[in-house]
Structure 1
Amino acid sequence: MFPISQMSTIDETKSGSVTEVQVPEEAIKDVAYELFQEGGANDEVDPKDSSRIARKLDVHMMWVLCTLYGINYVDKAALAWAVLFTFEEDLGLTGSDYSWVSSIFYFGYLGAQLPASYLLQRFPVGKVICFSSFAWGIIMLAHMGCKNYAGILVCRFLLGVFEAPVSGGFVLFTSLFYTRKEQVSRTMYWGSMQGIFYVIFGFITYGLGHAHSSSLKEWQLIYLVLGLCSVIIACVWFALIPDSPDKARFLSKEEKIIAVKRVSKNMMGVKTNDWKYSQVWDCLVDPKTWLMVAFIIFSMIPNGGLTNFGSLVLKSIVHNRVQSIAIGVGSSFFSSGQMLIYSVLSMKYHNLRTIGMSAPLLLAIAGLSAVYATEDHGAKWGRVFAYWMINSYAVTWPFALSIIGSNYAGHTKRATMSMLLLIFFAVGNIIGPFCFTSEDAPKYTKALATNLGCFCACFLIAVLLRLYLIWENRRRDAKYGPVAELTEDERQQGIINGMKDLTDTENKEFRFVL
């Protein structure tokens, strides 16, 4: 038997029953547990030291995370730019071929989610992100050699396979280095790069559209530039980014201890490499899992359509293919600007996650309603501004990801939730392009009406999720006592439970952030 001081005793409430969970100290496999012990389990981290380490992490890592995530997004958006040139004619695409070229990416993305989730759990998250980034860069370059429908289908499918670990990997990676409060702003930082890099490469694409090359078409130049950028940033990641706080070469031994103790207060530990099937089941029976899944599938149906057909919808307003690229970047300004504003607010205010999942949708609903209602008689620039407003829905994605990083304890449970979220991310994006039928072109009014209904459903689900988390926190307070009244020993036990890789269901000291 183990000494009582080395045992963890937790009430686990499932279906009204209480189960005793005991984990011996010797069973802890967290990669940073030795540093945690070396720093003194009960020693508090000075807030000034914590802030100093956070700033140091930002300086050394955040620019690389932001750059890679931004490149990852515009790599997917490249198809929407390519179709504005001679892409369809050169590859002989007709009828629904373009819809299939758009959707096949997400079939690869969907099929690769289970192995991607397993790899992220079993191996260093940073290395998985790095090697997948390098591979998708090579696939982007391979797009240039496509000559027919079959060739582009293969490239798009493989692109989806190699991009599968990225979003889930970024969520897990951010949770390794930052506290739950910091995770929102940092997720918004790299999440906002979707819009910022769309703006940057939108203007680059506009310039390439005026290039006259004797050997490469305009759409091939787009894939050349993006492919080279992807390969370069993957190499930079490999050289500079550590796999976990204890591996950060830019931190001293004392700073590594502080970095580990900072994230231990999330009650999620740092990282273990075991795959636990019990945590898979824990995730599947968790009500918040299915609220999140419903939110994602309803938000990604519009995303799948607008990402690949948005430039064509905008072209129906401005009546010029190349100009629609330049004007389309306004929607990215609209979304990325909001993300940066929310990131600043999240540093001052708590519990903005579910608000960030719902409030931006009100602007998206208003913009989409205006575009839909003014189909035949709206002023052109008024409709363009309304179109920009639609992209406010993109603000909700980083907030949804931050819910996983902040509210899912247990490394396998968090990896499973990331997998489920991204599976339904892929499903929604597969469905989305088929809402835009050729019969409905060029105004796509039926597709816009479908998207409007999806946004309304997302708003309702986000509100329900917030109410559920409030209810669950109050239920735990009533059963175990309010968090504010926990003794220091009880609070410390919650931290140790996180190092023991217990889930949010098993750790009675764990409370959800909203």
Structure 2
Amino acid sequence: MGNEADNIEAAPRAIHATQDIELKGQTADEGYELFEEAQNDSATYTLEASDAVRRKIDLQLLPLMCILYGLNYVDKVAMGWAVLFNFRSDLGLHGTQYSWASSMFYFGYLAAQYPANYFLQRYKTARILSFAVIAWGILMLAHLGLKNFAGLMVVRFLLGVSESVVSPGFVLYTSMFYTRREQVLRTMLWAAMQGSFSIVSSLLSYGLGHITNTALKPWMYIFLVLGLLSILTGIGWLFFMPETPNKAKFLTHEEQIIAVQRVAENMMGVKGYEWKYYQMWYAVKDPKTWLLLAFVFFTQLPNGGLTSFGSLVISGFGFDSFKTLLIGLPSSVVSAGSMIVWGYFSMKHGNLRTWGMIIPLLPAIAGIGAVYGTEGTGANKYGRVIAYWLINSYAVTWPFCLTIIGQNISGHTKRATTNIMLFMIFAAANIGGPFFFRSQDAPKYVLAITVILVCFCAALLCGIVLRVYMIMENKKRDNEFGELQTTEEKVEGMRFGMHDKTELENVDFRYVL
């Protein structure tokens, strides 16, 4: 019995010894010097010290992250508000031209994904994000000079290009500064700004829509205000956001060491600048990648249509333009509120990431089912509106998808490649979504509502399969290599992560669910 136990314990040690040999001569992570400084000094940090560093990081990063991500969303959907104030007639849009203009944003988004993620990997993430938001702010202002469909198509394409770095950049940036447990709530906070800023911007659009008898038309003020705010936010990022925790000037040297140590426990490193082509293949062959791609397709195909046509669907219930704006607000409340609630419970209880992809789809399915089932029945329009509000609970699933990438996919190039594939599917689905809202189906859009219902059910199945797959993989690794409980037991895995190895290579890596 003793020899058998010794053999079981020796296996992980032998594997770690092999890993150490593999790491020799390889380029280390951005924060590796501080990581090794802590290991050589046998330095440990208390929970209180970690919390103090995390609070300083929160105060420095979260305000500007939330503002940027909120503006990223409302800039994207601003045309959906402008269309309520003669935007289509002023530009002479007819037929499917508005649908094409809505989708053209995602053509730019799709085309830019590979270079966007490549640059985010190879260069300074914070600087790329700041330049991108300044660029899209300028493009928002360019809407004021539009005269026709052709000009709108060009501006929307370039807007998609400039915004293509934001979501993948935020996944990367969040993983640089926070532990895997902390990332969930932070991701939910900045993702919740979509709904929060949508509420504020809807009210703003409501007020701006009443401005008449001026040189600018009412819809122009929407783009003017959002464009100026975007440029100011980009300038703020340029001057106030640190690139990595080891270079954060608002932290002391000792705090920088703690910040790096905290992130090292993710076994994913801080930041690496080398593009490793073999990791692209690792991303392609990983079953998680394809389950995520399927999930994103089935949730974002509905999103593409609801983003651009949601206000028109509500107006089809029998409301005028101004009431449509106000009645649409609770959808954003459902979205933002659900994200914050889910983020809190996920941080408190842990392992709710895949549940956050599954459970929010249930009220969304119920809501779209109710809208579909009451079509042509003479049901009370306010009851149908309440059902429509529930649909937006699906928005919670998107940031949870991002947390799966940020916390369960290691290797900087592998994570970037997964982002490329995922955001290409994201863009393609959002391109196709608006075309299910056919002009001949207005104002009821029965075909689009049917497609949305089917997609949500398919996404639910993908989320369940993803959770089961990761549970099985964790059990397989525990049985083969043993469970790791303490930080000391995880040091070799942390070192492997600090040398930019994927979770498929690092036997100490375990998926968070």
Which TM class, normalised by the smaller chain length? over 0.9
Question: Which amino acid in structure 1 is aligned with residue 128 of structure 2?
Answer: V
Residues 420-499 of structure 1: pairs in structure 2 closer than 5 A:
420-484=421-485, 488=488, 490-499=489-498
Q: Distance in 2 between matches of 1:349 and 1:360?
A: 17
Secondary structure of 2:39 counterpart: coil
| Structure-1 separation of matches of 2:44 and 2:359 | 36
Amino acid at match of 1:466: R
Equivalent position amino acid for 2:214 in 1: S
- Conservation of the 8 A alpha-carbon contact between 1:28 and 1:499: no
CA deviation profile, 1:241-278 (whole Å, cap 9, x unmatched): 00100111111111111000000000011111000001
Deviations along 1:55-104, whole A, 9 cap, x unmatched? 11111110110000000000001010011111111111110101100001
Query: How far apart, CA to CA, are the structure 2 residues paired with 1:325 and 1:245?
Result: 42
* Contact 2:87 2:219 survives alignment (8 Å): yes
CA drift of 1:322 comes to 1.8
Structure 1 residue 38: Cα displacement: 1.9
Pairwise CA distance, 1:170: 0.1
Structure 2, unaligned runs of 5 or more = 1-12
CA contact (8 A) 2:23 2:496 kept: no
How far apart are 1:32 and its partner, in Å? 1.2
Contact 2:38 2:44 in 1 (8 A): no
- Distance (Å, rounded) in 1 between the aligned partners of 2:435 and 2:450: 14
Following TM superposition, by how much is the alpha carbon of 1:396 offset from its aligned partner in structure 2, in angstroms? 0.6
Number of the residue aligned with 2:183: 183
Kindly report which structure 2 residues correspond to 1:29-108, keeping only aligned pairs within 5 A, or say none.
29-40=28-39, 42-108=42-108
- Partner Cα separation in structure 2 for residue 507 and residue 385 of structure 1: 48
Aligned to 1:370: 370
Give SS of 2:501's match. Answer: coil
Preserved CA contact (<8 Å) 1:10 1:22: no
| Letter of the structure 2 residue corresponding to residue 199 of structure 1 | I
TM-score by length of 1: 0.95
Matches within 5 A, 1:383-402: 383-402=384-403
Structure 2 equivalent of residue 319 of structure 1: 319
1:33 is displaced (CA, Å) by: 1.2
In the TM superposition, 1:304-383 aligns within 5 A as: 304-376=304-376, 377-383=378-384
Runs of 4+ in 1 over 4 A off after TM superposition: 8-11, 19-22
Deviations 1:96-132 (A, max 9, x none): 1011000011000000000001000000111111111
Taking the aligned partners of 2:147 and 2:461, their CA distance within structure 1 comes to: 45
Change (3 A) 1:22 1:40: closer
1:439-479 Cα shifts (integer Å, max 9, x gaps): 11110011001000000011110010000000010111111
Taking the aligned partners of 1:10 and 1:508, their CA distance within structure 2 comes to: 8
TM-score (norm 2): 0.95
Supply the distance in 1 between the matched residues of 2:91 and 2:20 (Cα, whole angstroms).
59
SS in 1 for 2:504: coil
Q: 1: CA distance between counterparts of 2:497 and 2:147?
A: 52
Unaligned runs of 5+ in 1: 1-7, 12-18
Q: Distance in 2 between matches of 1:293 and 1:10?
A: 32
- Provide the rounded CA distance (Å) in 2 between the counterparts of 1:202 and 1:340: 20
- Aligned 8 A contact 1:318 1:380 in 2: yes
Distance in 1 between the 2:353 and 2:19 partners? 32
Which residue in 1 is equivalent to 2:149?
149
* Cα distance in structure 2, aligned partners of 1:21 and 1:444: 60
For the 8 Å contact 1:315–1:321, the answer to whether it is kept is yes
In structure 2, the CA distance between the partners of 1:487 and 1:314, relative to structure 1 (3 Å rule), is closer
CA contact (8 A) 1:10 1:506 kept: no
Q: Could you say what secondary structure the match of 1:84 adopts? A: helix
In structure 2, the residue matched to 1:418 is 419
Identify the residue that residue 127 of structure 1 maps to in structure 2.
127
Deviation at 1:20, TM superposition (A): 7.6
CA distance in structure 2 between the aligned counterparts of 1:118 and 1:213, rounded to whole angstroms: 48
Give the residue type in structure 1 aligned to 2:468.
L
* Residue aligning to 2:262: 262
The equivalent of 1:409 in structure 2 is 410
Displacement of 1:40 after TM fit? Answer: 2.6
Shift in Å, 1:375 = 1.7
How far, CA to CA, are the matches of 1:201 and 1:407 in structure 2? 34
| Displacement after TM superposition at 1:25 (Å) | 4.1
Residue 441 of structure 1 aligns with an amino acid whose one-letter code is A
Determine the structure 2 residue equivalent to 1:4.
none
**Does the aligned pair in 1 maintain the 2:120–2:128 contact within 8 Å?**
yes
| Larger CA deviation: 453-462 vs 47-56 | 47-56
**Partner deviation per Cα, 1:381-420 (whole Å, 9 max, x = no partner):** 1111111100011011110000000001111111111111
List per-residue Cα deviations over 1:30-71 (Å, max 9, x = no partner).
111111122235533311111111111111110110000000
SS where residue 451 of structure 1 aligns? helix
Q: Residue 237 of structure 1: SS of its match in structure 2?
A: helix
Quote how far apart the aligned CAs of 1:371 are. Answer: 1.0
Structure 1 residues 10 and 159: CA distance shift in structure 2, 3 A: farther
